[in-house]
Amino acid sequence: MKLFWKYLYGLHRTAVWAVLCMGCFAVVFALYGVDLGMVWYPLLLCAVFTAVFLLCGYLRFLRSHRMLLSILEGGGPFGDSLPAPAGTGEEDYQKLVLAAEDAHRSDREAWEAARRDTEDYYATWVHQIKAPIAVMRILLQQADTRENQELKSELFRIEQYVEMVLYYVRLGESGSDLVIQEHDLDDIIRKAVRKYAGQFVRKRIHLVYQGTDIRVLTDEKWLSFIIEQLLSNAVKYTSKGSVTISVDAEKRLTISDTGIGIAGEDLPRIFEKGYTGYNGRVERKSTGIGLYLCKMAADKLGHRLSAESEPGKGSRFTIDLESYPLRTE
């Protein structure tokens, strides 16, 4: 009924004009002494025709309204799906809409092309810079001195930041970058642990992991990235003690450490882009990108990432690996 009143309101100008015309006829008939009884029959016929006209117009309006709502819910493109215009005005508006859609499509295609070029450039840059990094690592392994150990550690950090650039660019892709399959979680965890084994040894941090036989539905590359980033943070902010990796029956993967912890006021914002918090300002080791990428990647995979921490006692990050709706936008 509300929609019907909206339709009638759209005809208010026509109704006012009709009332004015009827008023003029009534005045003329009165001035010439015409018997008004002779007018009632044609007025009744006009009222019937008007009602039929309004009903047909409303049905057409309702059909167009529902069609437009369906198009809006579908998100476009509009193309030939727009209802037939009722007049020149609607036809002109439809031309404007289609022209705007074409312009938006062109801009979108140009943006996609530019994004692909940027991604290709960074991918090439990452692969090219890995070559001199590998050469430097080989040179440093020729002499096992304390200085070389420190240099290898810094070189490892450089390599991690280089890879983070590539992941940052790829994170903006659609779901086509994902390869969702069932994987052995233990294999993924152990690969990440082996990658950071040198960092654990260098800082004399004890790693606790009992293994797991759980299989999860995920993308191996992105889940490995999340685990590696969490291990990197655990090693970075733990000077002594241990890092523990555990998996429970509900497929919750937890990485906890005995490091410096996270301040209570910083904890709600640690997944924000560029946020470093108190630890980042004091240690000057944080970019504010790692945890942001982890959260975005977890959301993209349909996993849930959460954090708990107590300053001075350590932090605990949990990845809920149960299957949730994947985010493809």
Tell me the C-alpha distance between 311 and 265, whole Å.
Answer: 11
Mean pLDDT of 220-237: 92
pLDDT in tens, 146-202: 787 788 777 887 888 888 877 887 776 655 578 888 999 999 999 999 988 888 888
**What single-letter DSSP state applies at residue 312?**
T
Confidence of residue 83 (pLDDT cuts 50, 70, 90): low
Strongest mean pLDDT among 54-68, 93-107, 125-139, 225-239: 225-239
pLDDT at 43 over 60: yes
Backbone phi, then psi, for 257, in 5-degree steps? -140, 170
Confidence of residue 80 (pLDDT cuts 50, 70, 90): low
pLDDT for 120 equals: 79
Tokens of 66: 């529902």
Domains, the chain: 2-75 (no CATH), 176-329 (3.30.565.10)
Tell me the C-alpha distance between 158 and 292, whole Å.
Answer: 19
Backbone phi, then psi, for 206, in 5-degree steps? -80, 130
Q: Report residue 137 CA to chain centroid gap.
A: 38
Compute how many other C-beta atoms are within 10 angstroms of the C-beta atom of residue 232: 19
Greatest C-alpha distance within the chain: 122
On whether the CB atoms of residues 188 and 215 are closer than 8 A, the answer is no
Confidence of residue 110 (pLDDT cuts 50, 70, 90): confident
Predicted structure pTM score: 0.64
Lowest-confidence segment of 200-209, 269-278, 279-288, 316-325 by average pLDDT: 279-288
Confidence of residue 12 (pLDDT cuts 50, 70, 90): low
Q: How many residues does the chain have?
A: 329
Residue 209's beta-bridge partner residues?
A: 245
Compute how many other C-beta atoms are within 10 angstroms of the C-beta atom of residue 134: 12
- CA distances 231 to 213, 241, 244, 257, Å, are 20, 14, 10, 9
pLDDT for 139 equals: 81
Mean pLDDT of 236-258: 92
Mean pLDDT of 223-233: 93
Confidence of residue 276 (pLDDT cuts 50, 70, 90): confident
- CA distances 71 to 92, 110, 149, 216, 251, Å, are 18, 25, 62, 38, 41
pLDDT for 258 equals: 93
pLDDT at 254 over 90: yes
pLDDT for 215 equals: 93
pLDDT for 218 equals: 92
Lowest-confidence segment of 77-86, 150-159, 258-267, 318-327 by average pLDDT: 77-86
